[in-house]
Structure 1
Amino acid sequence: MLKFLRTTLIAVLAIACLWLPMDGAIALGGTQPTLDQPAPEFTLLGNAGDGEIQEFSLADYRGQWVVLYFYPQDFTPGCTLEARRFQQDLPQYLDRNVQILGVSVDDVDSHEAFCDAEGLKFPLLADSTGDVSKQYGSYLTGYSLRHTYLIDPDGVLRKIYLGVNPAIHSQEVLSDLDSLIAAA
């Protein structure tokens, strides 16, 4: 029964995210970082999709765009669909010099198994304490929320997505990246 209630609460909160503001205001999960300001820095352990556990820092990606996406949990239907879509579109991201980084509170072993099971070739980062998720206003009671942040080559936050639809999100991000890159 407790598992059912927890799952129901997560579903209700995820649906509620669809109606929350996307302008850096207070939103479910905390205060969002401010658009057009430096994105919060972090260093986390993760799996690069090649079996190697290593440290990943946002600063490592200066000079290229970053899609930083937070998701609730490895191996769940919505998270699996979102990861599969990002993987399917990975060549298009690489053509645009864009790095995808997925973040959840799952540990590196879970991420490794998820990468292996889904054939993911982009890093999944373990925010086991939830500290980075909190910095990005993407944390709620032991889970990262489904939020995405586009960060430009100078490390500046350019777009925030709250409560995304996993089935279409990757294509939405690619379209917005094209507009942002063209405007830069």
Structure 2
Amino acid sequence: MILEALINEEAVKEGDKAPDFELQRQDGGLFRLHDLLKEKNVVLYFYPKDSTPGCTKQACEFRNQYEVFKEFDAEVVGVSSDSLQSHQKFERVHQLPFTLLSDKGGQIRSIYGVPRRLGLLPGRVTYIIGKDKVVRAVYNSMNKPLEHINTALEVLRSINVEQKQIA
């Protein structure tokens, strides 16, 4: 319990600059967060495991709303510790149009401070990051995978309004 509290204090929070990282995409190419942020807002979501009921439901809802995310000039990026082969199968079976990253060993999960449930299960946390590399919102819920999509869309709506006012 004390360890969990320490991790949460070190977690990336709303208003923080998003830590940059590089990981392999499901197609084998290299993904770098700050390269994508030069062009788009990013919905970075950490999830426990490919092909489990909650994770499948969440990924499919991100897929179903993908065109709306694109309208808000946002890209969806999923991260789990599954292998590239697992991600490739998950993407193919569910026709996922977005990037999945393999965080073997959980280094990026650790950098972001994504908590574990019961100390064992990887958590489910979504970070909505503006093009300015600032985390605009963090949504943490293991049991409400679909709320991650709703929350991300709400935040992106407000970012979109903000960016239009500046332009």
- Unaligned segments of structure 1, at least 5 residues: 1-25
Paired residue type of 2:45? Y
Structure 2 residue matching 1:36: 3-state secondary structure:
coil
Superposed counterparts of 1:138-149, under 5 Å: 138-140=114-116, 143-149=121-127
Superposed counterparts of 1:146-165, under 5 Å: 146-163=124-141, 165=144
Paired residue type of 1:53? G
Partner Cα separation in structure 2 for residue 72 and residue 58 of structure 1: 20
Q: TM-score, normalised by structure 1?
A: 0.77
8 A Cα contact 1:30 1:139, kept in partner = no
Q: 1:54 aligns with which of 25, 29, 37?
A: 29
Partner Cα separation in structure 2 for residue 72 and residue 64 of structure 1: 25
Identity %: 32
What's 2:40 paired with? 64
Q: TM-score, normalised by structure 2?
A: 0.85
Q: Could you tell me how far 1:96 is from its partner in structure 2?
A: 1.3
What's 1:180 paired with? 159
Structure 2 residue matching 1:60: 3-state secondary structure:
helix
Q: 2:74 aligns with which of 98, 102, 114?
A: 98
Paired residue type of 1:154? D
1:71-127: CA deviation from partner (whole Å, max 9, x where unpaired): 000000000000000000000111111010000011111100100111001000000
Partner Cα separation in structure 2 for residue 149 and residue 34 of structure 1: 9
Q: Could you tell me how far 1:29 is from its partner in structure 2?
A: 6.3
Distance 1:84 1:29, change over 3 A: farther
- Unaligned segments of structure 2, at least 5 residues: none
Paired residue type of 2:75? Q
What's 1:136 paired with? 112
What's 2:14 paired with? 35
Matched, 1:171 2:150: yes
Give the paired residue count: 156
Structure 1 residue matching 2:98: 3-state secondary structure:
coil
1:118-147: CA deviation from partner (whole Å, max 9, x where unpaired): 100100000001000001111536653100
Paired residue type of 1:74? D
What's 1:45 paired with? 24
Distance 1:99 1:138, change over 3 A: same
Structure 1 residue matching 2:29: 3-state secondary structure:
strand
